[in-house]
Structure 1
Amino acid sequence: MTATAMPRAVREPALPAVRPMLVGGLAPSLPVVVLLPLLTWAAAGGFAAVSALLGAVVSVVVFALGVLGIRGVLAGPTATTMAGAFGVFVVQLALLGAVIWSLGQTTWLQIVPLAVGFLVAGLVFQAGLVVGYLRTRAVLDVELPGEGR
């Protein structure tokens, strides 16, 4: 079978982990984006709630964009996958650090709720990302030569 006669799915391998990873990260973090500012508003007031909301939204957006950046890493050579993924993560953290520092320079924003919103939403997103990735793994049941069952 020639390359042109092959089905598209065979010629161009899909990136099966990207969509479940993105859904796995977004699904648990979106309720955090809603609940965290509400809890902060009840505990510390309006400006703290806005700060927590801003931190959570920025965190989720940057990490979601990072998952989309992983598509490029997965499309590249297999030998550089882990290094590329680590590079994407470092860029995400540097970008988030710069955003938090620049937002901390404002007078109306409260840095502690901003940082807490960023951290909680980011950790929940990352945990969901791992769960989404683990759901894509397939179990192989093979019999090796010389192995009796």
Structure 2
Amino acid sequence: MTAHPAPRTPVRMMLRGALVPGMIALPVLAGAFWTYAGERGALSALAGAATVFVVLVVGLLGITAVVMGPAATSMAGAGVVYLGQLVVIMAIVALLTRVDWLDGRSFALSAVAQTIVMQVGQIWGYVRARHEIHPGSLDRGATS
């Protein structure tokens, strides 16, 4: 009996595409900001990247639940997930403004970089998971 590989579903591949580069980016960004702004910058960069990492992964899981639900509520559900992500990030930023160790520039730049890394990974995962619906439909040179 041969083992069949797990199907490459878009959600699974998007999650993997976001998780792997996102986890790699955490220490890379902290290290980069250590050289830029010292220990305080590294800690702030790690906080920014980790905040985005957690919020985007939870949001991706939330979108998964929305997509599994009724199609009529998909757009509204996606909007709720997106707004929820924004609210959570803003709440975390508001809470962190009260701490004295935070370097705002390192936090913000790291958060933006982590967002870009994870979004590119998520898109890459989605593209890799696409399934051909009509033979030849995924060929770039195919003509109708």
Q: In which range does the TM-score fall when normalised by the shorter chain?
A: 0.7 to 0.9
Q: When the two structures are superposed, what TM-score results if normalisation uses the length of structure 1?
A: 0.78
| Residues in 2 aligned to 1:36 and 1:21: alpha-carbon distance in whole angstroms | 22
Pairing of 1:99-138 with structure 2 (within 5 A) = 99-138=92-131
Letter in 2 for 1:90: L
Contact 2:8–2:129 (8 Å) recurs in 1: no
What is the Cα deviation at residue 132 of structure 1?
A: 1.4
Pairing of 1:1-149 with structure 2 (within 5 A) = 16-141=9-134
Q: Which runs of 5+ in 2 are unaligned?
A: 1-6, 136-143
What is the Cα deviation at residue 15 of structure 1?
A: 10
What's the RMSD between the two structures over aligned residues?
2.0
Identity %: 36
Q: When the two structures are superposed, what TM-score results if normalisation uses the length of structure 2?
A: 0.81
Q: Which runs of 5+ in 1 are unaligned?
A: 1-13, 143-148
| Residues in 2 aligned to 1:83 and 1:141: alpha-carbon distance in whole angstroms | 30
**Equivalent position SS for 1:45:** helix
Question: Which protein shows a greater Rg?
Answer: 1
